[in-house]
Amino acid sequence: MALKIWLNDRLVEKAEAKISVFDHGLLYGDGVFEGIRVYGGRVFELKAHLRRLFEGARAIRLPIPMTKEEITDALQVTVAANEIDDGYIRLVVTRGVGTLGLNPFICRDPGLFIIADSIQLYPEELYEAGMKVISATTVRNHPLALSPQIKSLNYLNNILAKIEALDSDVPEAVMFNHEGYVAEATGDNVFIVKNGIVHAPPVEAGSLEGITRAVVMKLADREGLTVVEKNLTRHDLYVCDEFFLSGTAAEVIGIVEIDGRTVGDGKPGPITCMLRERFYEYARGKEK
């Protein structure tokens, strides 16, 4: 079946889903987006994703050309048209067509498109065996330069760190802020476990306030675990008992090595495995 894309106000065939080379989303990375999962045909945590999308757009003074209700309907139409049961949605709002100058207010008509497709970020064996990561030398953007809470179309900072990971033959890299504290991975949030306590960097350290992150913290609390948000150093990652990442596409995945140092006993730890299982149940409506 040919993929169908929602473009501005209607569904079009994939081959017709085109934007102008003068769109400032392309020219300058001027726009916002959300990655959203679909489980059993149900769009996951949609209200939280739309809230973050609209807040990010407001922060950069980008008017969104549809209401939350209209976007919700368009998402459902796009998911149904592509027969997505378990999959991934990319919802993007661009500044729109303008000139070669930076002035965003020349762009009178913001663009919006929705892609709904299947996704598998990491192979299943990585979830079972755990993943290796490195520390990136690329420093996370200073939060006073660009708020990490704006999920903008300019991901070059993350991409440079991703290149470091791939050059080191691992899938992911941990990024640190200008003060040397853990911010996030290139596309996921960071958690560690030490002495049975779950630790996460605060969003003030330079991480996106992830939707999956919030769900994992809620599930950990339900299980009676203590969750602490605190600044983490590279040393904390080296000596933790467990280490895992969370994200829309990744869900929950254990880390078993960082910078050549084994985490725990070299396998995803018990708390990581439990939270991965709980997230799977929660996302798919299979909670006991």
Report the distance separating Cα 160 and Cα 155, nearest Å.
9
Report the distance separating Cα 90 and Cα 104, nearest Å.
23
Report the distance separating Cα 131 and Cα 122, nearest Å.
9
Report the distance separating Cα 89 and Cα 248, nearest Å.
10
Residue pointed to by tokens 């709904």: 116
Catalytic residue among 151, 230, 267, 288: 151
Query: If we measure between CA atoms, which residue out of 223, 220, 256 comes closest to residue 241?
Result: 256
Report the distance separating Cα 250 and Cα 255, nearest Å.
12
Token digits of residue 198: 């779950």
Report the distance separating Cα 288 and Cα 33, nearest Å.
33
Apex 106 CA angle, 72 and 55, nearest 5: 35
Question: What residues have CB less than 8 Å from 105, skipping those under 6 apart?
Answer: none
> What's the Cα-to-Cα distance from 74 to each of 18, 55, 105, rounded to whole Å?
18, 20, 26
How many CA atoms within 13 Å lie on the side-chain side of 189?
A: 27
User: Is residue 151 annotated as a catalytic residue, yes or no?
Assistant: yes
Residues serving a catalytic function are 151
